[in-house]
Structure 1
């Protein structure tokens, strides 16, 4: 069984007690935050190694590393084969800075996108622009509704109700 499936079986187990699951995620988010603090200190370095080697490097177990790799995968310049990875699979943590920041905003992970390490990577204006860009990307803008007495958008000069607004 691939590591990702094992991770998902633990992290998203519906039979686990709610308090236990909440504690699991709290612990995971602290570990995740610690790894991101280290990665963002040197954002141009592409950390590489096997899943096991990276777990050892960050002093965590392989399952937690699998969860981290699952979370960061959409922000990587070259995605890892997370669906099929094992302990010996070579992976990398070469992330796209803007994509990572936006994905953290999208995940509503304020404990990550508010890390002080981001201040060394982006200016306050750039962070604000990325934040707003990500928030707007999920906003649906409905077109203005045409009123019965408005001019028809086809350009005929007639009122909408006498042109394309007629029930035929």
Structure 2
């Protein structure tokens, strides 16, 4: 079984609600530690094996895999998660603006409110990204053309006799 399969089985294969809540509470704590580490060391590209990351953070390979699953959309070069083993070299070149945006998308306030963001993105930039994420959720209903209105193509005919056929 691949490390990614093991992660998905652990994360999403539990039917007991109490166990699931305890799991996600534990994982979110580990994830927060991982992000604190990544954000504190933002000036250098972070790389290492899954096993090394797990040892550095005092967590399991599966939790590191869960972190990689969560951050993958924010990487400059996304990883092929299914191929990663504990000895695979993982290079994390992070697009921090995209990461901040994705944290808002996931409603992970325990991550996007970390003080480690301050040297990476200015307060103004963080507000701008937050607004952009909120705007992306607004649905703008396009105005429909009435069948008896003039056709927008400029022919002078009614819409129903022109492009509306």
**TM-score, structure 1 as length reference:** 0.87
Matches for 1:3-152 after TM superposition, within 5 Å: 3-15=3-15, 17-152=16-151
* Alignment-derived partner of residue 2 in structure 1: 2
Mapped partners of 1:114, 1:151: distance in 2: 52
1:139 Cα deviation from its structure 2 partner? 4.2
Q: Which runs of 5+ in 1 are unaligned?
A: none
Secondary structure of 2:82's counterpart equals coil
Q: Which runs of 5+ in 2 are unaligned?
A: none
Cα gap change, 1:155 to 1:48, in 2 (>3 Å): same
1:93 Cα deviation from its structure 2 partner? 2.4
Mapped partners of 2:141, 2:43: distance in 1: 40
Secondary structure of 2:83's counterpart equals coil
- Residue by residue over 1:56-93, the C-alpha shift from the partner in whole angstroms, topping out at 9 and shown as x without a partner, is 01111111111111111111122233211111111122
**TM-score, structure 2 as length reference:** 0.88
Mapped partners of 1:14, 1:58: distance in 2: 25
Mapped partners of 1:27, 1:11: distance in 2: 11
Mapped partners of 2:17, 2:65: distance in 1: 22
1:163 Cα deviation from its structure 2 partner? 4.4
Mapped partners of 1:114, 1:149: distance in 2: 53
In terms of mean alpha carbon deviation, does 129-138 or 54-63 score higher?
A: 129-138
Mapped partners of 2:75, 2:140: distance in 1: 30
Mapped partners of 2:54, 2:152: distance in 1: 61
Cα gap change, 1:20 to 1:152, in 2 (>3 Å): same
Mapped partners of 1:85, 1:163: distance in 2: 57
Secondary structure of 1:91's counterpart equals strand
C-alpha RMSD over aligned residues: 1.9
